[in-house]
A and B are shown apart, each in its own frame.
Chain A
C-alpha cells in the first residue's frame, strides 16, 4: 500500500517514514509543499495521504480539496502540531478522514493506519 507524507519539515517527514516502515508500510513517498504533494498524488495515487495543515503557500486544506478533486475516494489524514478546533473541523468538512497531532507516535499512527488502510 502506497502512502504519501506532505510536510515542509524534512525532519518530520523522515520520522513519519521511519514510523511507517516500522509499522510495515515500506512504500512511502514524500513531498514538502502543495505543488509537490499534488503532483506526487496524481502520479503515484497513494492509498493514504498524510497532509500537514500548515504548508508554505497554499494550505493543507487546499491540498486536501485538490487531492479529492483528483480522486474523491482518496483517504487524507490531516496533521498539525497544535489542536486548532476550527482548522480541524474545516479539514474534516473538506473531506479529510481523520486528524493526527504532531509529533506523532507509534500508537496513534498505528491506530489511524488500522482504521483507514482497509
Chain B
C-alpha cells in the first residue's frame, strides 16, 4: 500500500501568471501559519501574493486552496486561474471535499506537499470542519499535514476565527505553528 493508496483529489497543478508586483509577505518555508481573523482577508492576500510573485529570479511557486467559499467566487475575486481550489461542502462534485471525509482532505493536502516541495497550502474553513467533526480530529489533521510541511519547503496558511474557539483550543492550534497578522476587521 503506497502513501497515496487512499483517495486524493490533487490533479494537475499549474502556476499563476505573474502580476509584476512586489512580494509583501515574507513567510518561512517549512512552517504553518495561523492567522486569527474573520473574514480571511490577510490569509487570501498572502496566498495570492506569494503565488503571483517570484523572489530573486526564482520560479513562482504553486498553491492549493481548500475553502468553505465556492471556488468560482474565489477565482473571481482573487484572479486565480491555474491553482486547484477545493470546496468544503456536502454536495457531490469533482472539486468538492466533504467536511466529514477527513481522509480525503488529509491525503489531498499531503500529496500536494509531497509532490510540490515549495508549494503553498491555504486551509480555510476550519470552523466548518469542526462543526462537522470534533476539535481533536481536526487538530490531528492539521498536525499530520504540518508534519509534512516541516519536512518540506512548503508552507501552509490557516485562517481561524478566534471567536469560534476557546483559549485552550487556540493554544492547541498555535502549538507548533507561527502566528501571522492581527484580527483586525476592515470595511
Chain A positions within 8 Å of B, measured between CB atoms, are 9, 11-12, 15, 81-85, 88-89, 92, 98-99, 101, 103-108, 111-112, 115
Given known A15-B186, A83-B77, contact A107–B21 (CB-CB < 8 A): no
Q: Report the separation of the CA atoms of residues A98 and B24 in the bound assembly, to the nearest whole angstrom.
A: 10
Please report whether the interface of chain A is mostly helix, strand, loop or mixed according to DSSP. helix
Please report whether the interface of chain B is mostly helix, strand, loop or mixed according to DSSP. loop
On whether the beta carbons of A15 and B19 are closer than 8 Å, the reply is no
- Across-interface contacts of A115 in B (CB, < 8 A): 22
Q: Report the separation of the CA atoms of residues A41 and B45 in the bound assembly, to the nearest whole angstrom.
A: 29
For residue A116, which residue of chain B has the nearest CB? Answer: B22
On whether the beta carbons of B19 and A89 are closer than 8 Å, the reply is yes
Q: Report the separation of the CA atoms of residues A27 and B25 in the bound assembly, to the nearest whole angstrom.
A: 26
Given known A84-B79, A89-B20, A112-B24, contact A103–B49 (CB-CB < 8 A): no
Q: Report the separation of the CA atoms of residues A107 and B42 in the bound assembly, to the nearest whole angstrom.
A: 8
On whether the beta carbons of B186 and A105 are closer than 8 Å, the reply is yes
- Across-interface contacts of B79 in A (CB, < 8 A): 82-85, 88
In addition to A92-B21, A105-B182, A108-B45, 14 A-B residue pairs with Cβ atoms within 8 Å of each other are A82-B78, A83-B78, A89-B20, A92-B20, A99-B19, A99-B21, A105-B41, A106-B181, A107-B42, A108-B24, A111-B22, A111-B23, A111-B25, A111-B26
Kindly state whether residue B89 has any CB partner on chain A within 8 Å: no
A-B contact pairs, 28 of them (CB 8 A): A15-B187, A81-B77, A82-B78, A82-B79, A83-B78, A85-B17, A85-B19, A88-B79, A89-B20, A92-B19, A98-B21, A98-B22, A101-B45, A101-B49, A103-B41, A103-B187, A104-B186, A105-B42, A105-B181, A105-B186, A107-B25, A107-B46, A108-B25, A108-B45, A108-B49, A111-B23, A111-B24, A111-B25
Contact of B48 among A11, A12, A15, A101 (CB under 8 A): A101
A interface footprint on B28-55 (CB within 8 Å = 1, 0 otherwise): 0000000000000110011011001000
Given known A12-B187, A105-B181, A106-B182, contact A82–B76 (CB-CB < 8 A): yes
For residue B185, which residue of chain A has the nearest CB? Answer: A103
Residues of B within 8 A of A (CB-CB), count? 26
Q: Report the separation of the CA atoms of residues A110 and B121 in the bound assembly, to the nearest whole angstrom.
A: 24
- Across-interface contacts of A112 in B (CB, < 8 A): 22, 24
10 closest cross-chain pairs (CB), A and B: A103-B186, A83-B79, A11-B187, A111-B24, A108-B24, A99-B21, A105-B42, A101-B45, A85-B79, A83-B78
- Across-interface contacts of A82 in B (CB, < 8 A): 76-79
For residue B79, which residue of chain A has the nearest CB? Answer: A83
CB-CB contacts below 8 Å: B151-187 with A:
180-182, 184, 186-187
- Across-interface contacts of A12 in B (CB, < 8 A): 186-187
For residue A84, which residue of chain B has the nearest CB? Answer: B79
